[in-house]
């Protein structure tokens, strides 16, 4: 498979790829494939870095994933946009935390705790 270079992608393609990675993360998490999950996180981080390099409007494109049918995609989109859309991103994370759908509900709860304790400071 050809390696994808995020700098060659449009913003819409980056957001679509972010969602694809989130779905793959969901599958890895449900299958207990921690190594694969972590590798996918690295790919997601590369997408985030590319969006950041293109400015706030590019990062805001991730907000369209707040209504994605996959809970992992919603959680990651909200987590990666806490610094630019804190109120709506937090609401998405709170909803996931209250959903009872684990492990994402647990991850969301920990994210909220980290925010409230000042351990995590989104940018």
Query: Strand (E) positions, 21-97?
Result: none
pLDDT in tens, 77-113: 999 999 999 999 999 999 999 999 999 999 999 999 9
Domain membership flag for residue 4: no
CATH of the domain at 63: 1.25.40.70
Domain membership flag for residue 65: yes
Domain membership flag for residue 2: no
Domain membership flag for residue 1: no
Residues 93, 108 contacting (CB under 8 angstroms): yes
| Two tokens, residue 109 | 């709860």
Domain membership flag for residue 56: yes
Between 86-98 and 71-80, two packed helices, what is the crossing angle to 10 degrees? 150
pTM to 2 decimal places: 0.94
Domain membership flag for residue 89: yes
Report how many domains make up the chain: 1
Domain membership flag for residue 122: no
Q: CA-CA distance, 2 to 97, in Å (whole number)?
A: 36
pLDDT in tens, 41-72: 999 999 999 999 999 999 999 999 999 999 99
Q: Could you tell me the residue range of the domain that residue 79 belongs to?
A: 11-116
Domain membership flag for residue 93: yes
């Amino acid at each position: 498979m050809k390696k994808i270079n995020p700098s060659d992608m449009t913003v819409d393609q980056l957001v679509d790829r972010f969602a694809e990675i989130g779905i793959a993360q969901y599958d890895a998490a449900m299958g207990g494939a921690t190594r694969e999950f972590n590798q996918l996180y690295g790919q997601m981080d590369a997408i985030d870095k590319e969006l950041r390099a293109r400015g706030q409007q590019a990062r805001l494109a991730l907000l369209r994933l707040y209504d994605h049918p996959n809970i992992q995609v919603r959680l990651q989109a909200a987590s990666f946009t806490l610094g630019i859309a804190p109120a709506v991103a937090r609401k998405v994370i709170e909803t996931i935390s209250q959903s009872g759908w684990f492990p994402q509900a647990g991850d969301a709860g920990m994210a909220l705790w980290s925010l409230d304790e000042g351990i995590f400071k989104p940018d």
